[in-house]
Structure 1
Amino acid sequence: MEITVTRTNSPKVKPDESSLVFGHEFTDHMFVMDYKEGQGWYDPRIVPYGPLTLDPSTMVFHYGQETFEGLKAYKAEDGTIQLFRPKDNIRRMNQSNDRLCIPAIDEDLFLEAIKAVVKIDEDWIPTSPGTSLYIRPFVIATDPFIGVKPSSTYMLMIILSPVGSYYKEGLNPTKIYVEDEYVRAVPGGTGYAKTGANYAASLKAQVEAHKKGYSQVLWLDGIERKYIEEVGTSNAFFKVDGKVHTAPLQGSILGGITRDTSIELLKSWGIEVIEEPFTIDDVMRWHQEGKLEEAFATGTAAVISPIGILGWKGNDIQINNQEIGKISQKLYDTITEIQNGKEKDTFDWIVRV
């Protein structure tokens, strides 16, 4: 299918790169494609960024049938536009679509759509250290109908946003609260899918954590409330006695692209990565024994976010003197330099636009 292009007649003023925050500014254009049962996906197009007109009974408003993804584009020093592991994001979105009963999207067309809209708005890609162009594809159910069933029509959109650091702390260690009252997801649910319901379920705990002075929440499993799962927007890692522990993918947490990237890099450096269940009590014991060397979270938005303080049952433990650990720093530097074209990509992660 040919992607048609309608350019804006009113280009926006681009924001100052030095003051970029995450998710506040959006580019001039967006990609849109529709789906109709019996016809499939059709009419791929790039149009000026702007509001949508939807019926108040549109199903996504009432039953939450939607999925989304997040990836980034970077501009290398030679001007080349680089996408980081977009095929993995596309595959993961179709996995989420399957869980939410949303029709799969042709992967080749999806990648071409991402490339096309990024190319149209390439002047929006920031080049200052720590900045990038965030890419947000999402699908919504669009049937005007009140009733619980999969929609027969959908809309895929891709919007773009020039961004700075996700956390105000930047790469400085964050303060994380261990949540044991509220539950985000359980095996058999939608925890492994990237859908808004998971994030809506996390908001109450996040708000409570912010009131207590923490940046984010570390979730425990939803059944026994003791096994480490993930941070609110990223996967969690703990370096213990030279080995790195992270929760296994068992259906209740998201299989992060940056998680997988970090695991591959760690293994290539000869560091053992253990993907087996472990508890918050294990973490506290490791800390008491002096074995907990560093902790960090991984995600597309922040890349690597070191954890400096972990709060659990009224007790804050300090990790690595609230300093960035060597592994956290090395992972961040390596990943961002591959993304920006400053380091050779030996893993075949980069796709050029």
Structure 2
Amino acid sequence: MTTSIAIERVETSKITAVDFDNLPFGSVYSDHMLTCDFVNGKWQAPKIEPFAPISLAPSAKIFHYGQSIFEGMKAYKDADNNIMLFRPLDNCKRLNKSAQRLVIPEIPEEIFMDGLKALLEVDSDWIPTNDGSSLYIRPFMFASGNGFHASPADAYKFIICTAPSGAYFGGKVKVLIEEKYARAANGGVGYAKAGGNYAAQFYPTQLAIEKGFNQVIWTDDNTHQFIEEAGAMNIFVRINDTLITSPTSDRILDGITRKSILQIAEDNGIETEVRKISVGEVVEAAKNGSLKEMFGAGTAAVISPIAGFGHKEDEFELPVLEKPYATILKKMITDIQTNKAEDPYGWRVFV
């Protein structure tokens, strides 16, 4: 470790009050958090302190102009109590890509990685070992500088919080293909993990829920003829035995799970295509029986199978397969993440 990190530990841990056999996702928080401030044109020394509320002035620019970005990661423990991360440098690079787009100062890689590892060592007892559970990690940065004038802030805060969590989704997921609202536009911030992207999703998603669906499949902003993402996840479509996903762009997040799925699928003989997928193609495939699977891919759920989808006034159910790609690929990825399988890619990083 090259970064000097001051550590202030909690007087009494909350861990004894946590039921690790029944963990919700992302709503039970570990004892500590990492914080680091950007002031006077540079990042200060990071520190680890008790998880607690943040004090900000009402004039802090985060409240007015939305300079806020985040990442999602997980930490795991294997049978020998080794602590592992999955492709953490990709998260750091993507956070800085988001920072650049929102004119937030990039976080140095050594602060991100050294701070994260130190935080996991301090809160190592919070990393669950039950199957399907993990320690969810939320790094985020936001404008803490003050002012009502519409310009980038002069001060920022970087924080990493963690939450022991169970599975993200449960049960069958039904999605509605969106025909009016758009998640992102060309030249916009769709490729960045900006908080405002997700805020803008809530309303159309709520409309879909009121119609009996769980989530929305986003389509392109111009014609709504091409599917792009599933809720807050990248989307995969299997037609016959070919696994297809949309190319990344200004509108589509460069998902780390997405990249991992493509690599593992190709290396295991599954034919993949990265190309535009039209709504008409998916609907026609559902009608003629060649649509075998659809699933979302992201850090939280890893892979979330889609049981059916709605388009206009029609609803389609996907077939129940004996060995779906979703199940096969999810096991391959999670086995690498949890040190149950070899990692030929160097994705697994030990703390």
Partner of 1:93: 95
Counterpart CA distance in 1 for 2:24 and 2:8 is 28
Partner of 2:174: 175
CA, structure 1 residues 333+210, in 2 after alignment: closer, same or farther (shift >3 Å)?
same
Partner of 2:205: 206
Counterpart CA distance in 2 for 1:95 and 1:347 is 23
Counterpart CA distance in 2 for 1:280 and 1:80 is 45
Which amino acid in the other structure matches residue 166 of structure 2? G
Which amino acid in the other structure matches residue 37 of structure 2? D
> What are the ranges of 5 or more consecutive residues in structure 2 without an aligned counterpart?
none
Deviation at 1:259, TM superposition (A): 0.4
Partner of 1:155: 157
1:207-250 deviation digits (Å, cap 9, x = unpaired): 11122222211100111111110011111001112111111112
Are residues 1:6 and 2:8 paired?
A: yes
CA, structure 1 residues 292+187, in 2 after alignment: closer, same or farther (shift >3 Å)?
same
Deviation at 1:143, TM superposition (A): 1.0
Deviation at 1:14, TM superposition (A): 4.2
Counterpart CA distance in 1 for 2:323 and 2:66 is 39
Are residues 1:282 and 2:281 paired?
A: yes
Counterpart CA distance in 2 for 1:89 and 1:18 is 28
Deviation at 1:42, TM superposition (A): 0.6
Which amino acid in the other structure matches residue 17 of structure 1? F
Counterpart CA distance in 1 for 2:91 and 2:313 is 38
Deviation at 1:324, TM superposition (A): 7.3
CA, structure 1 residues 292+89, in 2 after alignment: closer, same or farther (shift >3 Å)?
same
1:122-165 deviation digits (Å, cap 9, x = unpaired): 10111111100000000010111101111110000000000111
Partner of 1:75: 77
Deviation at 1:168, TM superposition (A): 3.0
Are residues 1:49 and 2:47 paired?
A: no
Partner of 1:271: 270
Counterpart CA distance in 2 for 1:325 and 1:235 is 21
Return the TM-score normalized by structure 1.
0.96
Partner of 2:18: 15
1:255-308 deviation digits (Å, cap 9, x = unpaired): 111000000001101222111112111100111222111111100000011111
Deviation at 1:325, TM superposition (A): 5.1
1:48-107 deviation digits (Å, cap 9, x = unpaired): 000011001100011100110000000011110000110100000000000000111111
8 Å Cα contact 2:175/2:309 also seen in 1: yes
Counterpart CA distance in 1 for 2:333 and 2:322 is 16
8 Å Cα contact 1:306/1:324 also seen in 2: no
Identity fraction in percent: 40
Which amino acid in the other structure matches residue 307 of structure 2? G
CA, structure 1 residues 57+324, in 2 after alignment: closer, same or farther (shift >3 Å)?
farther
Counterpart CA distance in 2 for 1:66 and 1:17 is 31
Match among 328, 331, 337 for residue 330 of structure 1: 328
Which amino acid in the other structure matches residue 190 of structure 2? G
Partner of 1:308: 307
Are residues 1:144 and 2:146 paired?
A: yes
8 Å Cα contact 1:14/1:124 also seen in 2: no
Are residues 1:30 and 2:28 paired?
A: no
8 Å Cα contact 1:231/1:297 also seen in 2: yes
Are residues 1:216 and 2:228 paired?
A: no
* Number of aligned residues: 348
Which amino acid in the other structure matches residue 336 of structure 2? I
Return the TM-score normalized by structure 2.
0.97
8 Å Cα contact 1:90/1:107 also seen in 2: yes
Higher mean C-alpha displacement, 324-333 vs 221-230:
324-333
Counterpart CA distance in 2 for 1:187 and 1:274 is 22
Higher mean C-alpha displacement, 264-273 vs 42-51:
264-273
Which amino acid in the other structure matches residue 342 of structure 1? K
> What are the ranges of 5 or more consecutive residues in structure 1 without an aligned counterpart?
none
Partner of 2:64: 62
Q: State the secondary structure of the residue aligned to 1:128.
A: coil
Q: State the secondary structure of the residue aligned to 1:308.
A: strand
Partner of 2:347: 349
